Amino acid sequence: MDEILPSAKISTKEYLRRLYDVARSESAEKTARQRIADKVSRSAQDANLRTSGASEDRLKRPERPTLNQAIDMAMKELETRK
Protein backbone atom coordinates (compact mmCIF):
# COMPACT_ATOMS: atom_id res chain seq x y z
CA MET A 1 0.00 0.00 0.00
CA ASP A 2 3.00 2.24 0.36
CA GLU A 3 3.42 2.18 -3.40
CA ILE A 4 0.10 3.88 -4.11
CA LEU A 5 -0.36 7.02 -2.10
CA PRO A 6 -3.46 9.18 -2.21
CA SER A 7 -3.00 12.61 -3.64
CA ALA A 8 -5.05 15.60 -4.68
CA LYS A 9 -4.74 14.54 -8.34
CA ILE A 10 -6.60 11.24 -7.86
CA SER A 11 -10.20 10.78 -6.74
CA THR A 12 -11.07 8.56 -3.80
CA LYS A 13 -12.96 6.23 -6.11
CA GLU A 14 -9.95 5.82 -8.42
CA TYR A 15 -7.61 5.37 -5.44
CA LEU A 16 -9.77 2.60 -4.00
CA ARG A 17 -10.13 0.98 -7.42
CA ARG A 18 -6.33 0.87 -7.79
CA LEU A 19 -5.93 -0.58 -4.31
CA TYR A 20 -8.51 -3.23 -5.16
CA ASP A 21 -6.74 -4.07 -8.44
CA VAL A 22 -3.39 -4.44 -6.66
CA ALA A 23 -4.91 -6.67 -3.96
CA ARG A 24 -6.71 -8.78 -6.55
CA SER A 25 -3.59 -9.26 -8.69
CA GLU A 26 -1.53 -10.27 -5.66
CA SER A 27 -4.23 -12.76 -4.73
CA ALA A 28 -4.26 -14.13 -8.29
CA GLU A 29 -0.47 -14.54 -8.22
CA LYS A 30 -0.68 -16.39 -4.92
CA THR A 31 -3.38 -18.66 -6.31
CA ALA A 32 -1.33 -19.35 -9.44
CA ARG A 33 1.75 -20.19 -7.36
CA GLN A 34 -0.34 -22.49 -5.18
CA ARG A 35 -1.78 -24.22 -8.26
CA ILE A 36 1.71 -24.84 -9.62
CA ALA A 37 2.90 -26.14 -6.24
CA ASP A 38 -0.10 -28.48 -6.10
CA LYS A 39 0.61 -29.74 -9.60
CA VAL A 40 4.24 -30.47 -8.74
CA SER A 41 3.18 -32.26 -5.57
CA ARG A 42 0.59 -34.39 -7.37
CA SER A 43 3.05 -35.21 -10.11
CA ALA A 44 5.62 -36.37 -7.56
CA GLN A 45 3.02 -38.49 -5.77
CA ASP A 46 1.87 -40.03 -9.04
CA ALA A 47 5.46 -40.87 -9.96
CA ASN A 48 5.96 -42.56 -6.60
CA LEU A 49 2.79 -44.59 -7.04
CA ARG A 50 3.82 -45.69 -10.51
CA THR A 51 7.28 -46.80 -9.45
CA SER A 52 6.46 -48.25 -6.03
CA GLY A 53 4.27 -51.11 -7.24
CA ALA A 54 5.09 -54.14 -9.29
CA SER A 55 6.10 -53.39 -12.82
CA GLU A 56 4.28 -54.95 -15.73
CA ASP A 57 7.26 -57.18 -16.45
CA ARG A 58 7.08 -58.73 -13.01
CA LEU A 59 3.34 -59.25 -13.32
CA LYS A 60 3.59 -61.26 -16.52
CA ARG A 61 3.48 -64.97 -16.06
CA PRO A 62 6.31 -66.97 -17.54
CA GLU A 63 5.37 -68.60 -20.78
CA ARG A 64 4.33 -72.20 -20.40
CA PRO A 65 6.27 -74.71 -22.43
CA THR A 66 4.49 -76.57 -25.15
CA LEU A 67 3.84 -80.27 -24.72
CA ASN A 68 6.84 -81.20 -26.85
CA GLN A 69 9.11 -78.83 -24.90
CA ALA A 70 7.89 -80.27 -21.60
CA ILE A 71 8.57 -83.83 -22.79
CA ASP A 72 12.05 -82.85 -24.01
CA MET A 73 12.87 -81.20 -20.66
CA ALA A 74 11.62 -84.26 -18.77
CA MET A 75 13.69 -86.61 -20.98
CA LYS A 76 16.83 -84.48 -20.43
CA GLU A 77 16.20 -84.50 -16.68
CA LEU A 78 15.90 -88.29 -16.68
CA GLU A 79 19.09 -88.65 -18.70
CA THR A 80 21.07 -86.48 -16.31
CA ARG A 81 19.90 -88.52 -13.30
CA LYS A 82 21.27 -91.79 -14.75
Is 37 inside any structural domain?
yes
Is 35 inside any structural domain?
yes
Greatest alpha-carbon span in the chain = 111
Is 10 inside any structural domain?
yes
Is 6 inside any structural domain?
yes
Mean pLDDT, the chain cut into blocks of 10 residues (82 residues total): 67 86 82 84 75 61 86 90 76
Question: For position 71, what pLDDT does the model report?
Answer: 92
Q: List C-alpha distances in Å: 72 to 39, 80, 81.
A: 56, 12, 14
Is 41 inside any structural domain?
yes
The pTM of this model reads 0.35
Is 58 inside any structural domain?
no
